[in-house]
A and B are shown apart, each in its own frame.
Chain A
Amino acid sequence: MSEDTKNKTVSKGVSRRSLLKGVAAGGALAATGPFLFNIAQAAETSIKIGFPVPLTGPYGSEAKEQAACAQMAVDEFNAAGGLNGRMAKLLVRDDKLKSGEAATRTLELIEKDGADFIAGSLSASVQLAVNSVAKERGKIYVSISQSDAINEAKHFSKYTFHEAMNPHMTAGAVGRYVFPKKGKRVAFLIADYAYGHEMARGFKAAGEAFGIEVVAEVQHPLATKDFSTFLPRIQAARPDVLCLCNFGYDQMNSLKQSTNFGMKEQMQMVAPALLYNQRRAGGAEAYDGVIGGTNFYWGLEDTIASAKTFTDSYRKANNGKPPSDYGAYGYSGVGGLLKAVTAAGTTETDAVITAMENLKYDMYKGEQYYRKCDHQSVQSVYIIESKSEAKMANEYDVFDLVGVDKANEGVLRSCSDLGFG
């Protein structure tokens, strides 16, 4: 009896002791953990650029290309000697195309990795999340994905820069090219989310000057496979021009099905964001004759020196494959940032912001600069027309450059429209 109780107390005492041991071991681990990280960090004083992009998910191939192009910009900066010998380093993270994940990854980049700058993202909502985290912590963020919202005063901060074009300027440029040539009866096929509506708004704003008449406005849910219920309504309205305000697979599927419906003979197809990778995936027949806008097409190398330099070095690293439009954003976003670092002579945030505001840079497509009020990159929009199979010289030769909307602040929404001063 007494033996039993004694045993019990002993066993209890032992376990409590082991618990203490466990706590001590945990404490020791806790003490060494951050210490180890500190050693790793102290060994280098490189300029760190955090780069969250959706490596997994539907835009994975674009994201990988963005990361590869951003790395090119970093390599060039380092090859030129860095910032007085301080080398740059790109930290690529997978944001999985989710805002929450992107916000966590940005916190990781800033708090753990000690990133000096943040660039990247490939979705309107994700870039707003990254921007929110970065601006709160006073880190410069260069967005390389299309969005109208990020220019607006409520999302803007002095740390926010938008390197990509925005839907307003892209759709506007395409509209100004198409409406005088192809007719004034316009129909819209709109993917029902922020980006789709932003593009449609851009077209309508540009169309006002030409007196366009909207004859049909059809919305479809995101990621629609079957467009056969939407297309007849557009056909019945007999438009001269059909604006496809959608993106990625939606764009490809709607084009394929409207080609089968014989709609191309009746109207001009227009896609404001006509993507190089999507065109190559979708095939020449579906895209034949479609007019659209882009920030970059490798064919620019014939006329623009900086485009030639960019495509040549990209080809050298990628078995002769030319770079894509979204990949190029990665190059110019990070490249422009590093140019500003060089100009400022420091990585100190305020000095770099001033340098970026005063920067005139030509990374890959002609001169660009950041507008003072909203830090939107003012740049040329190129108008392209998709080639038919017969006219293609090789598998990469998919577009004709048919026009350009030169870099001009006038095509952007005015600072007062965006809510500034």
Chain B
Amino acid sequence: MSEIPMNTGEMQVSGRRLSDLVKLVARHRVIAVLAFMSVFPFIMPYEALAVNILIYGLFALGFNMVFGYMGVLSFGHAAFFGMGSYGTGIAIVHFGAPWPVAIGLGVVVAGITAMIMGAMAIRSRGIYFAMVTLALAQCVYYLIYQMSDWSGGEDGLTGVTIGEIDLGVVSFNLLDPTAKYYFMFTFVALAVFIFSRILASPFGAVLEAIRENENRARACGYNVQLTKWITFVISGLFCGLAGALNAIHLSVVPIESLHYHLSGQAVMMALLGGMGTFFGPFVGAMAFLLLEDVITLITIHWQLFLGITFMIFVLFFPKGIWGSILHWVSR
């Protein structure tokens, strides 16, 4: 008799502990993300997949600034990822640039692309914005496709090799998968920190104000158009960094990295993980890539199982994986 209430009591305690843990993670989001990612390669099947998740997580994170925090759906983010990749790749392959310059150049090229695309697209809204960004991204795709002397065209750009990195204090070789992971991790960690600071700033509050009610934000005196454009460019910079890292990771820049399919993947990852949450895009990228990787090894009908999983999530967990966890905990 007396055992039953004790049990429920214990369960409540452990439930509270769990919710406290999640709240703690949500409060110290940057540290939580970084702590998780630093042990991450050891729990993944192999390092290259862990690096992929890192890179696509950053890509989805950057995308989520426009999609989740500002509430605008863009279908053109592959252009930033791809231009980041090609910027870095071309700098290394054709000009023999040192890696910090190459990565910086990739990010800048992506930023410039975002400035131009943003200036042209930002006046449209809703589905029109999605279509305009998609069309502009396709223009970038064909531009790079045709510049085959520089970009390799359909064959892609090959030979983006860095190899040995000497920082004076430490030197390591990117051919070592673990070293490569932590090299990428450093960049992603820095990006996540900056991202979090941007969201926590007054500027971040304006973003959410625009998402909730654009007219009201305008009535409050904010320059909505300019804010949207700046957000688009910042988001492009993050996606460009993801692209630049991807070029170094794979040592090739495939033409697919500009394809609209990749823009769709960013939407998928953000939705799967939970749009508008900080950790969501990473969770989404991890779930997406891990599922795809594991199911592909088991069956060639992986698309079927992946599709069913997505349908289940869209139907029963519209807040996404991380969004649903936060929701349950805060209940």
Q: Which residues of A contact B (CB under 8 A)?
A: 11-12, 14-16, 18-19, 22-23, 26-27, 29-31, 33-34, 55-56, 60, 93-94, 96, 98-100, 103-104, 107-108, 111-112, 124-125, 128-129, 131-133, 136-137, 149, 154-155, 193-194
User: In the complex, are the beta carbons of A131 and B158 less than 8 A apart?
Assistant: yes
Cβ distance A34 to chain B, nearest Cβ, rounded Å:
6
Nearest 4 interchain pairs by C-beta: A99-B254, A30-B42, A15-B20, A112-B46
User: In the complex, are the beta carbons of A19 and B21 less than 8 A apart?
Assistant: yes
Interface string of B2-24 (1 = CB under 8 A from A): 00000000000000111011011
Q: Which residues of B contact A137 (CB under 8 A)?
A: 175
Q: Which residues of B contact A31 (CB under 8 A)?
A: 42
User: In the complex, are the beta carbons of B159 and A154 less than 8 A apart?
Assistant: yes
CA distance A129 to B24 in the complex (A): 43
Q: Which residues of A contact B21 (CB under 8 A)?
A: 15, 18-19, 22
Chain B's interface size range is 35 or more
Which listed residue (B154, B163, B254) contacts A193, Cβ 8 A? B154
Say yes or no for B303: interface residue by CB 8 A criterion.
yes
User: In the complex, are the beta carbons of A136 and B154 less than 8 A apart?
Assistant: no
CA distance A98 to B35 in the complex (A): 32
Which listed residue (A15, A55, A107, A124) contacts B154, Cβ 8 A? A124
User: In the complex, are the beta carbons of B303 and A14 less than 8 A apart?
Assistant: no
Which listed residue (B39, B48, B255) contacts A111, Cβ 8 A? B48
- For the complex, would chain B's binding face be called helix, strand, loop or mixed by DSSP majority? helix
Q: Which residues of A contact B154 (CB under 8 A)?
A: 124-125, 193-194
Say yes or no for B177: interface residue by CB 8 A criterion.
yes
Say yes or no for B250: interface residue by CB 8 A criterion.
yes
CA distance A136 to B177 in the complex (A): 13
Cβ distance B272 to chain A, nearest Cβ, rounded Å:
19
User: In the complex, are the beta carbons of B252 and A103 less than 8 A apart?
Assistant: yes
Say yes or no for B204: interface residue by CB 8 A criterion.
no
List B residues 46-91 near A (Cβ within 8 Å). 46-49, 52
User: In the complex, are the beta carbons of A129 and B158 less than 8 A apart?
Assistant: yes
Q: Which residues of A contact B161 (CB under 8 A)?
A: 136
| Residue from B45, B46, B47, B154 having most chain A Cβ neighbours under 10 A | B154
User: In the complex, are the beta carbons of B156 and A129 less than 8 A apart?
Assistant: yes
| With A18-B20, A27-B39, A132-B159: A100-B250 Cβ-Cβ less than 8 Å | yes
User: In the complex, are the beta carbons of A11 and B254 less than 8 A apart?
Assistant: no
Interface string of B293-313 (1 = CB under 8 A from A): 000110010110000000000
For A129, the closest partner residue in chain B by CB is: B252
| Residue from B20, B52, B158, B163 having most chain A Cβ neighbours under 10 A | B158
For B162, the closest partner residue in chain A by CB is: A136
CA distance A97 to B54 in the complex (A): 23
Interface string of B135-166 (1 = CB under 8 A from A): 00000000000000000011110111101000
Q: Which residues of A contact B302 (CB under 8 A)?
A: 56, 94
User: In the complex, are the beta carbons of A100 and B20 less than 8 A apart?
Assistant: no
Q: Which residues of A contact B153 (CB under 8 A)?
A: 194
Q: Which residues of A contact B48 (CB under 8 A)?
A: 104, 107-108, 111-112
| With A23-B35, A56-B303, A98-B254: A104-B49 Cβ-Cβ less than 8 Å | yes
User: In the complex, are the beta carbons of B39 and A26 less than 8 A apart?
Assistant: yes
Q: Which residues of A contact B160 (CB under 8 A)?
A: 132
CA distance A132 to B93 in the complex (A): 13
For A138, the closest partner residue in chain B by CB is: B175
User: In the complex, are the beta carbons of B255 and A125 less than 8 A apart?
Assistant: yes
Which listed residue (B16, B18, B163, B251) contacts A103, Cβ 8 A? B251
User: In the complex, are the beta carbons of A111 and B177 less than 8 A apart?
Assistant: yes
Cβ distance B93 to chain A, nearest Cβ, rounded Å:
9
Say yes or no for B43: interface residue by CB 8 A criterion.
yes
User: In the complex, are the beta carbons of B175 and A125 less than 8 A apart?
Assistant: no
| With A30-B39, A56-B300, A94-B300: A136-B255 Cβ-Cβ less than 8 Å | no
Say yes or no for B235: interface residue by CB 8 A criterion.
no
CA distance A19 to B17 in the complex (A): 10
Cβ distance B8 to chain A, nearest Cβ, rounded Å:
18
CA distance A11 to B160 in the complex (A): 51
User: In the complex, are the beta carbons of A128 and B252 less than 8 A apart?
Assistant: yes
Q: Which residues of A contact B300 (CB under 8 A)?
A: 55-56, 60, 94
CA distance A93 to B49 in the complex (A): 14
| Residue from B52, B250, B300 having most chain A Cβ neighbours under 10 A | B250
CA distance A79 to B55 in the complex (A): 44
List B residues 230-268 near A (Cβ within 8 Å). 246, 250-252, 254-257
Q: Which residues of B contact A26 (CB under 8 A)?
A: 36, 39, 43
| Residue from B46, B47, B161, B177 having most chain A Cβ neighbours under 10 A | B46
- Taking A23-B35, A125-B155, A194-B154 as given, write out 4 further A-B residue pairs in contact, using a Cβ cutoff of 8 Å, ordered by the A residue number: A56-B303, A93-B296, A100-B250, A108-B45
User: In the complex, are the beta carbons of B49 and A108 less than 8 A apart?
Assistant: yes
Q: Which residues of B contact A30 (CB under 8 A)?
A: 39, 42-43
Q: What are 14 inter-chain pairs, A to B, with CB distance below 8 A? A: A12-B20, A15-B20, A30-B39, A94-B302, A100-B250, A100-B252, A103-B252, A107-B46, A107-B250, A108-B46, A124-B155, A132-B251, A155-B158, A155-B159
Q: Which residues of B contact A112 (CB under 8 A)?
A: 45-48
User: In the complex, are the beta carbons of B250 and A133 less than 8 A apart?
Assistant: yes
Interface string of B191-224 (1 = CB under 8 A from A): 0000000000000000000000000000000000
Which listed residue (A100, A131, A154) contacts B254, Cβ 8 A? A100
For B259, the closest partner residue in chain A by CB is: A98
User: In the complex, are the beta carbons of A111 and B46 less than 8 A apart?
Assistant: yes
Q: Which residues of B contact A23 (CB under 8 A)?
A: 35, 39
Q: Which residues of B contact A100 (CB under 8 A)?
A: 246, 250, 252, 254, 256-257
User: In the complex, are the beta carbons of A111 and B47 less than 8 A apart?
Assistant: yes
Which listed residue (B17, B49, B252) contacts A132, Cβ 8 A? B252
Q: Which residues of A contact B158 (CB under 8 A)?
A: 128-129, 131-132, 155
CA distance A16 to B303 in the complex (A): 41
Cβ distance A25 to chain B, nearest Cβ, rounded Å:
10
